[in-house]
């Protein structure tokens, strides 16, 4: 049984197409947002949002890379890429405010964020778990046909699917976390006077485009799980018909 086949790519093609479209959209929105000026930098906007919420203990650091921005809930640090950290643009303050939104979620014990943080190991190890047990399931017939006939192959396959299902669950839980952080950012930037109506539109363009990448990643994870459930079902059917 090949691990990947043509039908795998056909089955996942909606997610691939959506991801390519989302990547194109975010590049376009980001380029436009970098041309819309603001009075302060991304780092200054994040600092203002954090201080206003009483989170003066959350540090802001510059890290290398492009769109490498993230909030570290363990270290209580907001890490911003050079363009976001130092630029006075709508894209910079929008992304910085989004990450600051995660810090606000963390301080308020926002439910979906708590669940997402607990699910991080599933996202990290789920795919490796999947490949390990899938490989074991494929090896069982080579070592013992009796074990294969008794259902050990199917058991390993189902455990493998469980690994990818855990990773898919992380992606599903991640959606409300990211959407909420973006909504906070758009609202706070406008309410605090950091952006005007035109700048707010540019911010919304960047953050809404980014949201589609999360949707695409979630769709891909769910489709992978469905693909292997269907494939396992077909294999079971073929075996039963022999």
pLDDT tens-digit profile of 69-108? 999 999 999 999 999 999 999 999 999 999 999 999 999 9
The string of pLDDT tens digits covering residues 141-200 is 555 455 445 555 677 677 777 877 888 888 899 999 999 999 999 999 999 999 999 999
Cβ–Cβ contacts within 10 Å for residue 160, how many?
23
Q: What is the largest CA-CA distance in the chain?
A: 72
pLDDT for the residue numbered 215:
96
Q: Residue 230's pLDDT band (boundaries 50, 70, 90)? A: confident
Question: Would residue 186 count as lying in a domain?
Answer: yes
Q: For residue 20, give its domain range.
A: 6-36+109-240
pLDDT for the residue numbered 14:
95
Question: Would residue 159 count as lying in a domain?
Answer: yes
Distance of CA 54 to the CA centre of its chain: 28
Question: Would residue 135 count as lying in a domain?
Answer: yes
Selecting among 59, 99, 146, 178, the annotated active-site residue is 99
Question: Would residue 179 count as lying in a domain?
Answer: yes
pLDDT for the residue numbered 137:
57
Cβ–Cβ contacts within 10 Å for residue 106, how many?
19
The rounded distance, in Å, linking the Cα atoms of 154 and 140 is: 10
- Give the residue, 159 or 236, on which the prediction is more confident: 159
- For 180, residues 6+ apart whose C-beta sits below 8 A from its C-beta are 101, 105, 110, 112
Cβ–Cβ contacts within 10 Å for residue 55, how many?
17
Query: How many domains does the chain contain in total?
Result: 1
3-state secondary structure of 195: coil
Question: Would residue 100 count as lying in a domain?
Answer: no
Beta strands (DSSP E) in the chain are 59-62, 70-72, 77-80
pLDDT for the residue numbered 151:
57
Question: Would residue 128 count as lying in a domain?
Answer: yes
User: Is 99 an active-site residue?
Assistant: yes
Q: What are phi and psi of 156, to 5 degrees?
A: -65, -40
- For 10, residues 6+ apart whose C-beta sits below 8 A from its C-beta are none
Question: Would residue 72 count as lying in a domain?
Answer: no
Question: Would residue 63 count as lying in a domain?
Answer: no
């Amino acid at each position: 049984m090949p691990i990947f086949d043509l039908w795998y790519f056909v089955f996942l093609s909606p997610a691939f197409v959506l991801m390519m479209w989302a990547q194109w959209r975010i590049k376009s929105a980001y380029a436009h947002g970098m041309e819309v000026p603001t009075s302060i930098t991304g780092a200054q906007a994040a600092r203002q949002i954090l201080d206003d919420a009483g989170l003066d203990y959350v540090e802001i650091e510059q890290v290398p890379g492009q769109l490498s921005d993230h909030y570290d809930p363990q270290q209580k640090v907001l890490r911003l890429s050079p363009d976001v950290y130092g630029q006075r643009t709508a894209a910079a303050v929008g992304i910085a405010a989004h990450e600051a939104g995660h810090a606000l979620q963390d301080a308020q014990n926002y439910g979906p964020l708590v669940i997402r943080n607990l699910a991080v190991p599933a996202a990290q190890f789920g795919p490796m778990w999947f490949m390990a047990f899938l490989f074991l399931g494929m090896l069982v017939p080579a070592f013992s046909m009796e074990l294969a006939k008794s259902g050990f192959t199917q058991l390993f396959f189902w455990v493998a699917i469980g690994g990818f299902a855990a990773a898919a669950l992380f992606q599903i839980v991640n959606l409300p976390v990211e959407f909420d952080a973006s909504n906070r950012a758009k609202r706070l930037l406008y309410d605090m006077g950091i952006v005007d109506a035109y700048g707010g539109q540019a911010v919304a363009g960047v953050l809404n485009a980014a949201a589609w990448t999360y949707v695409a990643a979630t769709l891909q994870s769910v489709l992978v799980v469905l693909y292997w459930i269907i494939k396992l079902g077909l294999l079971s059917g073929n075996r039963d018909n022999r």
